[in-house]
Structure 1
């Protein structure tokens, strides 16, 4: 369903641009277990990015908020000539908008972050 929805969005808004929808299996799992800077993660990123570079990719749109953690590695592999569009800020803003609309937004910005590994 997600792929079908994304395909419809691309078709509606592509405006003559060519999009290649590329899944990146393993990215999220590596990030969630804090294995970002490992040889295995580099192999995964190369496996996803290099075929796109062969197709002359000029922009990489991050389809998952997790992927922001891999930007340095993606940049290293893709090079500076490829633009990277990060989506985490837009996703956070949309979540905030939805919470506000549902009157569920916290009254204060004070919170805490707890990381459980």
Structure 2
């Protein structure tokens, strides 16, 4: 029997698990290989050129696992490397920025859309460009929230601390008119409850996870790549960081037990430090 090929999903850390959860829900027969580059997270403050190098390195690892599709479940990596990865590989590649943009266009009533993300994603202008390519009349307000990814990656559970960090991070965007807010980082849905409290119920939070999983499903269907076996898929999770910490966050979010393997990537990139001060 032919071995079931997996969907390869990558992120700077645990954020891409929001996409994994949605893939599990929409495509329960599909096998997932997930790579979280926790040791080099966050990607947001890094130069996009370095993020591109990291992303291509992870793509090489996933290709060695014989995946049938790659999902770049990180907004910064999508902004930095999506086109390069598409040129490099012969299998389908999906990013999270276009699906997130489509979700916002579908839901907005006023045409006033907010975007929060990492410095890298916001400075790239990727969301604003994508949104306005589809509808030039949209009013898009973007804001970088550099403190939120470290908050999620820390796994902290103290609600008072989380609320304060989220409140401080979002303060500059609260005066802007918007009826929809794109969570332009896959880490943010893990703290969406607190983000919703701060922006208020009149603003709809939009994650790219659901739309990304839908796009994955559509592509696999059209290319006749959906898994046809009845065997329970065996998922694999890899992290460059602490296995126990990653496992705790992942199992809490996914609601299931998983196996996590530590992996070392090329030292040459780890020795670099192009994080912008």
Q: So what's the TM-score if we normalise by structure 2?
A: 0.35
Bigger radius of gyration: 2
Check whether the contact 1:24–1:48 (CA below 8 A) recurs between aligned residues: yes
Equivalence for 1:24: 145
Compute the displacement of 1:75 (Å): 1.2
Return the offset for 1:102.
Answer: 7.9
Given the alignment of the two structures, is residue 10 of structure 1 paired with residue 131 of structure 2, yes or no? yes
Tell which deviates more after alignment, 98-107 or 13-22. Answer: 98-107
Change (3 A) 1:57 1:47: farther
What pairs with 1:1-117 in structure 2 (closer than 5 Å)?
Answer: 2=79, 3-35=124-156, 37-99=158-220, 101=223, 103=225, 105=227, 107-108=229-230, 110-111=232-233, 116-117=247-248
> TM-score when scaled to structure 1?
0.72
Distance in 2 (CA, whole Å) between partners of 1:23 and 1:41 is 17
Distance of 2:153 and 2:128 partners within structure 1: 27
Higher relative contact order (CA 8 A, sep 6+): 2
Q: Which structure's residues are more often strand, by fraction?
A: 2
Q: Given the superposition, is the C-alpha separation of residues 54 and 5 from structure 1 closer, same or farther in structure 2, using an over 3 Å criterion?
A: closer
Q: Structure 1 residues 76 and 7 mapped into 2: Cα distance closer, same or farther (>3 Å)?
A: closer
Unaligned 5+ residue runs, structure 2? 1-47, 49-78, 80-123, 238-245, 249-277
**After the TM superposition, which parts of structure 1 deviate over 6 Å for at least 4 consecutive aligned residues?**
none
The number of residue pairs the alignment matches comes to 117
Q: Residues 96 and 32 of structure 1: is their aligned pair in 2 closer, same or farther, counting only changes over 3 Å?
A: farther
CA contact (8 A) 1:50 1:78 kept: no
Instruction: Quickly say closer, same or farther: Cα 1:107–1:31, change in 2 above 3 A.
Output: farther
